[in-house]
Amino acid sequence: MLVRILIVEDDHRIANTIKKGLEQESFLVAVSYDGQEGFDFASSEDYDLIVLDLMLPDMDGLTICRKLREIKIHTPILILTAKGQTQDKIEGLNSGADDYLVKPFSFEELLARIKALTRRPHSIAEDTLKAGDLILDKNTFSVTRDHTQLKLSNKEFMLLQFMMEHSGNILTKEQIMNHVWSYDSDILPNTIEVYIRNLRRKVDLPFVNKSPLISTHRGFGYKIEK
């Protein structure tokens, strides 16, 4: 199953090292280098885990924790910090964090903690997305429409999953790029158009007796119908 992780860390070297290592483990990783932006990402997008530094510009990690919990976002949070005193750990956990890792740390320990935090039971409803007669299974990476198996590339699957998780909502190209592609990926806005066109060829065009599910809203973005 695709696992999305947000790293909020102002040390670019640490953030990018963690990102590279996690991507090699097949996680989908987004990075923010300041607190306010990190909070905006965490409160507006769906992630399976947040790796959060405490000492951040614009908004510190403890404040981010508290604010996310106040608005009922319960995404697991793993705090990274140079502060290793017991009281610091207690303060972080009391602010809503789920785990605490003191710098410097090994990537192996970080990876083990991330796997433990994301190893949560999922119901069938959470693992299966539906939009009309289009069904996407996150566990088996399979997609069917009208009982017909669709063959998608990895990126097409990720794009379709993101759209189905937000079915009924218009998604901008920026949202799609930030969520489906890595932030340092060298892609252009028309790349999104190409992938949307490819999805249509597989999801809509073969089913001539069915209503199209993917729609374009010019000047705004794309939507998949519920």
User: Are 139 and 213 in a shared domain?
Assistant: yes
CA distance 70 to 213: 35
159 and 183 in a single domain? The answer is yes
Do both 128 and 88 map to the same domain? Answer: no
pLDDT at residue 211 in the model: 92
The confidence band for 122, taking pLDDT boundaries of 50, 70 and 90, is very low
- In this predicted structure, what is the pLDDT of residue 82? 78
Q: Which pLDDT belongs to residue 123?
A: 40
Instruction: Find out whether 95 and 66 touch, Cβ atoms under 8 Å.
Output: yes
* pLDDT at site 125: 41
Residue 197 corresponds to which tokens in the numbers above? Answer: 């066109």
The alpha carbon of 90 is separated from its chain's Cα centroid by a whole number of angstroms, namely: 28
CATH of residue 188's domain is 1.10.10.10
How many domains does the structure of the chain reveal?
A: 2
Is the same domain home to 144 and 90? no
Q: In the predicted model, is pLDDT for residue 83 greater than 80? A: no
> For residues 121 and 120, which has the higher predicted lDDT (pLDDT)?
120
130 and 111 within one domain: no
Residues 12 and 83 in one domain: yes
Residues 174 and 162 sit within 8 Å (Cβ to Cβ): no
CATH of residue 110's domain is 3.40.50.2300
Position 63 scores a pLDDT of 93
Using 50, 70 and 90 to split pLDDT, how confident is the model at 195?
very high
Whether residue 8 sits in one domain with residue 83: yes
Q: Quick one: 86 and 152 in the same domain?
A: no
Integer Cα distance of 192 and 26 in angstroms:
22
Q: Say whether both 113 and 17 belong to one domain.
A: yes
Provide the domain limits for residue 102: 4-118
pLDDT exceeds cutoff 60 at 223: yes
pTM over 0.85: no
Indicate if 169 and 216 belong to the same structural domain.
Answer: yes
**Distance from C-alpha of 16 to C-alpha of 30, rounded to nearest angstrom:** 10
Shared domain for 14 and 107, answered yes or no, is yes
Among 29-43, 112-126, 133-147, 188-202, top mean pLDDT goes to 29-43
- What integer pLDDT is reported at residue 212 of this predicted model? 94
Nearest to 125 by CA among 165, 155, 76: 165
Q: What is the average per-residue pLDDT within 66-80?
A: 89
pLDDT (tens digit, 9 = 90+) per residue, 23-60? 999 899 999 999 999 999 999 888 999 999 988 999 99
- Last residue within a domain, chosen from 118, 151, 166: 118
